[in-house]
Amino acid sequence: MQRGAWNIPVPAERHPLVPHALLIPLVGYDAAGYRLGYGGGYYDRTLAGFTPRPLCIGVGYDDAALATIYPQPHDVPMDLIVTERRAQPIGRPPAAPIPR
């Protein structure tokens, strides 16, 4: 490790990799798989740089579903949304909730 910006330790050597799948937190989501995150746009910018793109799994609460998030051109949809009640592949009809 070496000191980087703001004196934060960073690896001395760079070994980039492309993951096969990512678990991505979401604050809200819509049926098209677009997500609201925490406001920085870091996931969308990171995903845009991956070739090939990994499987993107958004993880959040069932009650966070919205009619739309009004996606912007830079937004990247998730491939799957997982909540405490369902796993919803994007592009398919909504899954039935898991009985409690």
pLDDT one-digit tens code per residue, 20-49: 999 999 999 999 999 999 888 888 888 888
Catalytic residue among 3, 14, 35, 85: 35
Q: Is residue 98 part of a domain?
A: no
Q: What's this model's pTM, rounded to 2 decimal places?
A: 0.77
63 is catalytic: no
Active-site residue flag, 85: no
Q: How confident is the model at residue 100 (pLDDT cuts 50, 70, 90)?
A: low
Contacts of 70 (CB under 8 A, 6+ apart): none
Taking the C-alpha atoms of 48, 40, 77 and 86 in order, what is their torsion angle to the nearest 10 degrees?
140
Q: What does the pLDDT read at residue 44?
A: 86
| Residue 46 covered by a domain | yes
Domain count for the chain: 1
Domain that includes residue 25, residue range: 18-76
Mean pLDDT score across all residues of the chain: 88
Task: Flag whether 26 is in a domain.
Answer: yes
Active-site choice (3, 14, 45, 75): 75
**95 pLDDT tier (thresholds 50, 70, 90):** low
Q: Residue 48: inside a domain, yes or no?
A: yes
Catalytic residue among 3, 44, 79, 86: 44
